[in-house]
Structure 1
Amino acid sequence: MNYVVIKCGGSVFEQLPPSFYQNIVDIQKQGEWQPIIVHGGGPLISQLLEQVNVQTTFVNGLRVTTNEVLDVVEMALSGAMNKQIVRHITQSDGAAFGVSGIDGKLLEAVPVEDSDKLGFVGDVKKVNTDIITSIAEQGSVPVISPIGIDAKGQRYNINADMAASAVAQALEAKLCFISDIPGIYQERDGKKEVYHQLNEERIQQLMDEEVIFGGMIPKVQSALHALHQNVLEVSIVNGTDENGLWHFMQGKEVGTRITLDKEMPNV
């Protein structure tokens, strides 16, 4: 079975049109690719933490996570966000099965290097793919919230990009980051010119030229790391475009595809 891991960040959810979920259902029904969703939920986590008056801070873009914070993270991700996505897919006449990385030790985690500063923030040590393949074989779209667990039962907050990348590596899948931008682009004369295909060498050039900068740098670096770990292709697609995901999966020039190919078309 060919898998495509679709990572959705919490900040883009409210902008996604109904066609996005319909596209996921259609991709699955077509039969060539089995979609898997890994999702974040940062804005909702922040909102809930504020409501219950739990203080939190960030170090290098990662949320400092205590067990008290984890209670709220789990409520937001494995509860509200996960089931909202399952509901949207069901409304699009599809079938989805929501699961946390804790369930069945789907995402086995270890502490990140800066755990003394970050608390219970983890990296994925192992993905138990049997759970994912079992859900897919029953005709459902797996929807995964990125909370991991270690051998002692300690929970860990895992960055959704990293969790999606780990799942894609374990399944040797395609990895698609859903965003609210058209891909990696450069502005010329007030127009966004999208790079539809990029390789490692060209990405490095664009970083040197500061076309790729800020928050896009860790995203493309994690993309390149994933490609070196058996991920077939990494892409950035605008999920807010009507049927954008479907057009991308049909091979049209939508978003940015990143591969390790040496030879690239002129872009």
Structure 2
Amino acid sequence: MREIVVIKCGGSTISELSNEFFQSVVNMQQAGKRPIIVHGGGPAINEMLQKLDIKSEFVDGLRKTTSEVLETAEMVLCGKVNKQVVTSIQRAGGLAVGLSGCDGKLIEVRAVNEGMLGFVGEPIMINTTLLNSLMDQQLIPVIAPIGINESGTHYNVNADSAAGAVAKELEAEQLVFVTDVDGILKDGKCLDQVTATEIENYISDGTIYGGMIPKVRAALSTLTDTLQSVMIMNGKATTVGKDGSVKGTVIVKSKVKAHV
């Protein structure tokens, strides 16, 4: 079975992703891998909410989602941002299909805390049959993180959570977090690989700081027996290998000891 690679593109980087990044996604597919993109869109949502004079606030890092905020988020994520990503992949020579988590009940969710957060959901089931069917047809799925519950109500979903759920349910071999930095830097150089223990040490000594801390902890939380590595890479200045591979920092639970 070909390797599935789930690529999470943060909303803050989408408008600045390089042509080389999208070419690398197409190269992955041509090299025999099965890429899937899950994207955010926070800055674009904020801009539209401001234009429409709709107030929005965050609680514990999650956007409190009223019906007005949900309608705006769905319009921006599924309409504007999703189709931008699809178009960019197709300009690079691939074929992509844009989806929201509502299409084909792709991302079924339950409410996180409706009283406090409103229409914010967490994934409980992924329609892997739909995704595999699309990938079998040489299509690259591009997923906007809007989910649906059993009664048909739509919910806003954190893009990190959506990407992690897709990767776990598909038993993906790699999850890639696309950011605006090359990876985890130490003394100005990008580290090739770090373990969970090393990450905690780097947080303690200040090597990992600021916005990188939640990124690496989110990455660690997605690791399973099947999903054994998560990469953090730069989408603005992508280094693309001939085999469609990209460079960044790979996060693993622990380094495999060589057999003697």
Smaller-chain TM-score bracket: over 0.9
Report the TM-score, using the length of structure 2 for normalisation: 0.92
The whole-number CA distance in structure 1 between the counterparts of 2:233 and 2:168 is: 19
Structure 2 residue ranges without an equivalent (≥5): none
Q: Which residue of 2 aligns with 1:260?
A: 253
Alignment of 1:37-116 (within 5 A): 37-112=37-112, 114-116=113-115
1:151 is the counterpart of 2:150: yes
After superposition, the Cα gap between the structure-2 partners of 1:11 and 1:248, relative to the gap in structure 1 and judged at 3 Å, is farther
Question: Which stretch shifts more, 37-46 or 223-232?
Answer: 223-232
Three-state SS of the structure 1 residue aligned to 2:241 is helix
The equivalent residue for 2:30 is 29
Q: Do the aligned partners of 1:40 and 1:145 also contact (CA within 8 Å) in 2?
A: yes
The alpha-carbon distance between structure 1 residues 125 and 67, as it changes in their structure 2 partners (threshold 3 A), is same
Which 10-residue stretch deviates more, 210-219 or 137-146? 210-219
Q: Please give the per-residue CA displacement for 1:183-227, whole angstroms capped at 9, x wherever unaligned.
A: 0113x4xxx122210111111111222322333222222211211
Amino acid at match of 2:185: Y
Contact 1:10 1:39 in 2 (8 A): yes
Q: Matched residue of 1:15: which SS?
A: coil
User: Which range moved further: 135-144 or 16-25?
Assistant: 16-25
Residue of structure 2 aligned with 1:221, choices 199, 217, 222: 217
Look up the equivalent residue of 2:6 and give its one-letter code.
V
Deviation at 1:250?
5.6
Over aligned residue pairs, what C-alpha RMSD do you find?
1.9
CA distance in 2, matches of 1:249, 1:217: 30
Percent identity over the alignment is: 43
The answer to whether the 8 Å contact 1:100/1:145 transfers is: yes
Q: Is the 8 A contact 1:198 1:264 kept in 2?
A: no
- Any stretches of 5+ residues in structure 1 without a counterpart? none
140-149 vs 18-27, greater mean Cα deviation:
18-27
Following TM superposition, by how much is the alpha carbon of 1:232 offset from its aligned partner in structure 2, in angstroms? 2.8
Residue identity matched to 2:120: V
Shift of 1:14: 2.0
Q: State the distance in 1 between where 2:135 and 2:145 align.
A: 18
Name the structure 1 match of 2:131. Answer: 132
Q: Deviations over 1:150-187 (max 9, x none)?
A: 1011111111111111111111211001111010113x
TM-score, with length taken from structure 1: 0.90
Alignment size in residue pairs: 256
Shift of 1:264: 7.8
Question: Does structure 1 conserve the Cα–Cα contact (< 8 Å) formed by 2:104 and 2:130?
Answer: yes
Deviations 1:246-265 (A, max 9, x none): 3397667x310011224589
Corresponding position of 2:241: 247
Residue number in structure 2 paired with 1:195? 191
CA distance in 2 between partners of 1:119 and 1:146 (Å): 16
SS in 2 for 1:56: coil
CA deviation digits over 1:79-111, x for unaligned, max 9?
111111111111122100111001111101111
Report the Cα distance in structure 1 between the residues aligned to 2:134 and 2:10, rounded to whole angstroms.
Answer: 22
Displacement of 1:23 in angstroms is 1.5
**Does the 8 A contact of 2:24 with 2:245 survive in 1?**
no
